[in-house]
Amino acid sequence: MPVDRYEQFVRWTDMFLTTSTATEQARHQGYTAFTAYAAELVARHRASPGGDLIDLLVQARDEDDRLSEGELVNTVFSLITAGHETTASMIARGVFRLLLHREQWAELVADPSLAGTAVEEILRFDGPPASAFMRRVTEDVDLSGGSLSAGTVVMPNLNAANHDPRAFPDPGRFDIHRFAGHPPHPHVAFGYGPHRCLAASLARVELTEAIGALATRHPALRPAVPLEEVAWTDGLVHRPVALPVTTGRPAR
Ligand code: HEM
């Protein structure tokens, strides 16, 4: 992704993913502008091919005919959208949670190698909200809350699963040590099954790097406003609208 249009595409994704106050028309405009940008990126890569992911996708379309033009542009669009806002907002939600639990932030500062397990708890505790990913039930199934018949379309709530007390004792407790010594993938913040997040490993690395770097470089990080005053978006993606922090030591 060239950085020259970064500000612009953040505005577009904000428009259709996080800002519930945007009008339907504004959302549509954001979406259309972003799709056009994905098409422009594809055109740029066609004109001067390289060896990155977009080039490989263009090649799959042009040389192997494995994608239609619409699928190609849509895949580029999805990768950018799925790859940016999800991780950026997860970092914001994670930092919010750590600032709320100062004693756990202090532990992380004392031992930044805890970042990996802290990230698992952040993902479990504050993962994507009620998923936007629908599923069609392929066979009749009995659940404790009732039965679903084959063909029904459902929207599984990943957060509810991640707060299931049978899987996570005392699920409302935020504990960066919860997953210490656990096998990988203990929760379903990245979904489950064939459509599980394509980039779960990449996202884990990004989150661990970001949280670890903050703990190392800004050990005195603290909120610049009372945390209860932080406003949250209520669009498809849930995150603080802004999370003002200071990084200097408090005045004595
Ligand atoms: C913290 C960061 C992220 C979270 C919490 C997250 C979460 C998810 C979830 C819940 C799904 C749906 C899984 C399902 O339907 O079962 C998904 C799908 C997907 N994610 Fe992520 N994701 C993250 C980061 C990323 C990144 C960085 C990328 C790309 C660079 C990405 C690309 C995708 C794609 C392409 C899909 C669709 C997979 C498919 O339908 O087969 N995600 N993600």
Please give the pLDDT value at position 73: 92
Burial (CB count within 10 angstroms: exposed 0-12, middle 13-18, buried 19+), residue 63: exposed
Is residue 117 assigned to a domain? yes
Expressed in angstroms, the distance from the first to the final Cα of the chain is 44
In a domain, 166, yes or no: no
| Residue 197 CA, ligand 1 centroid: distance in Å | 3
Is there a domain that residue 234 lies in?
Answer: yes
Cβ of 197 below 6 Å from ligand 1: yes
21 C-alpha vs ligand 1 centroid, how far in Å? 25
CA of residue 83 to ligand 1 center, whole Å = 7
pLDDT along the chain (252 residues), means of 10: 82 73 82 90 93 93 86 89 86 96 97 95 86 84 93 90 93 95 79 88 96 96 96 82 86 54
Q: What is the model's pLDDT at position 2?
A: 81
Does 129 contact ligand 1 (Cβ within 6 A)? no
Q: Is residue 164 part of a domain?
A: no
Confirm whether 45 is domain-assigned: yes
Give how many domains the chain has, as a whole number.
1
Q: Which domain holds residue 67?
A: 3-128+198-246
Backbone angles phi, psi at 216, to 5 degrees: -80, -45
φ, ψ of residue 251 in degrees (nearest 5): -65, 145
Number of the ligand 1 atom closest to the C-alpha atom of 158: 10
Work out the number of other CB atoms within 10 angstroms of the CB of residue 210: 18
pLDDT at 85: 82
**Residue 230 falls inside a structural domain:** yes
Ligand 1 pocket, residue 95 CB under 6 Å? no
The Cα-based distances of 112 to 207, 217, 218 in angstroms read 13, 10, 12
pLDDT of residue 185: 61
CA–CA dist 115, 216 (Å, integer): 10
191 — alpha (psi -120 to 50), left (phi > 0) or beta? left
pTM: 0.88
Q: Which two tokens stand for residue 53?
A: 């992911």
Q: Looking at ligand 1, which atom is closest to the CA of residue 202?
A: 27
